[in-house]
Amino acid sequence: MARGLLVWAWLKKPFYVQVRFSYLRMKYLFFSWLAVFVGSWVVYVQYSSYMELCQGHKCKDTIHWVPCFITCDKYRKGVIDGSACSSLCDKDTLYLGKCLSAKPNNQVYTSIWGDLEGVIKCQVEELVHYGLGTEMEPRKEAVLFNKPTKGTSMEKFKEMVLSHLKAKVGEQANLLDLVTLMLSMADSNKDGHISLPEAKSTWALMQLNEFLLMVVLQDKEHTPKLLGFCGDLYVTEKVQYTSLYGITVPWLMELWIPSGVRRSMDQWFTPSWPRKAKISIGLLEFVEDIFHGTFGNFLMCDMNARAFGYNDKHDLKMVDMRKIVPEATFRETMRDRHCETDKDCVYGTDCLTSCDVTKRRCTPEAIRPNLAKACHALKDYLLRGAPLDIREELEKQLYSCLALRGSTEEMEMEHSLILNNLKTLLWKKISHTKDS
């Protein structure tokens, strides 16, 4: 009897193992299939979005489905005009190259314009004012070039420009100089007159925060040169390296890299320390340029590393200035914003005010100045690989910079002192090297 049971057990065991193995194999195959299906779906969605976004080469045709690119139709019909229109639409000397867009409301392409390498930009922003608390909405093509209307006199257009710039940058002693600068830019063929199509293009461009800032800072070293425009499409000089640090990887690989690994990779792929110091000096100089500059103070509301780039001489160049806003406009908008907590009083990622819980309104004062945000972006960048003889002093100055708060007169003096001390420390260390 016992012997029979042993034989039965021996015969039964392989069957049990076989069933268990089959179950595990089916389970493995199911989850493998599920992973492949989900992964394929993600890749398909990303690829479809990318292909739909990156079809700027069709801008010479009528493409009403792309909300930001202005068709050559409008130029040929006499609705718009600008210094880049003829090259783009008639002479075929302005070419669109690689798509650099990440979002549909900010289309960016490399370009070749004759012998010049450039970048073509076309943004989708609000028409009337900064809606700092809301998402951007695509502009409606029907109203994009509706101002100024036919019959508007030059004096009336000048008044429109003055009123708009005053709303953007606030009351400035030299506001008329900015108006003159904008009208000079509007005269794209430099014939001494501004045609209605030129005026319509200029008015559309004036709604774009980055374009306004580029005009304001055109004589500054760290602002890419404005090469031309057509409608609300504009061309700037190309910046060779388009991120403060890090490495660009194909978008397909980007999907699968964990954020922690990505941050470590960014720090691995940086220039030598003297070159990083020179780039950092450039960022500090840019902060200085927009801190009580010629046409008022501007706030940097997104200090992402990909907002800054540099050229082959390691001079800092701004890549994305969409989230640099006039302080006057920022204060006015935040003053009217309803809030429950401080989290409701944020614009971009880096411009914060506090919530007055008694009034349920945000206070207008930005908590952190531009310099403190720049130092936060530069801290790890500069301390990694810093020479031992200045590391301690550099760290001390960076932490003093990070502690800056508010915008009182006393803070402004401290702001200038810390900024000058940092620039002096870095420049003194690299001034004798070939990288300087």
Domain boundaries, the chain: 83-138+145-237, 271-430
Model-level pTM? 0.79
Contact 239, 397 (CB under 8 A): no
Work out the number of other CB atoms within 10 angstroms of the CB of residue 280: 21
| Average model confidence (pLDDT) across the chain | 80
φ and ψ of 420, to 5 deg = -65, -40
- pLDDT digit string (tens) for 129-148? 334 443 333 444 445 688 89
What is the model's pLDDT at position 306?
Answer: 83
- Cα–Cα distance between 139 and 145 in angstroms, integer? 10
Contact 54, 99 (CB under 8 A): yes
44 falls in which pLDDT band (50, 70, 90)? very low
- Cα–Cα distance between 280 and 365 in angstroms, integer? 27
In words, the CATH class of domain 271-430 is: mainly alpha
Q: What is the dihedral angle through the alpha carbons of 144, 145, 149, 153, rounded to the nearest 10 degrees?
A: 120
27 falls in which pLDDT band (50, 70, 90)? low
What is the model's pLDDT at position 88?
Answer: 87
Q: Show the tokens assigned to 139.
A: 């502009």
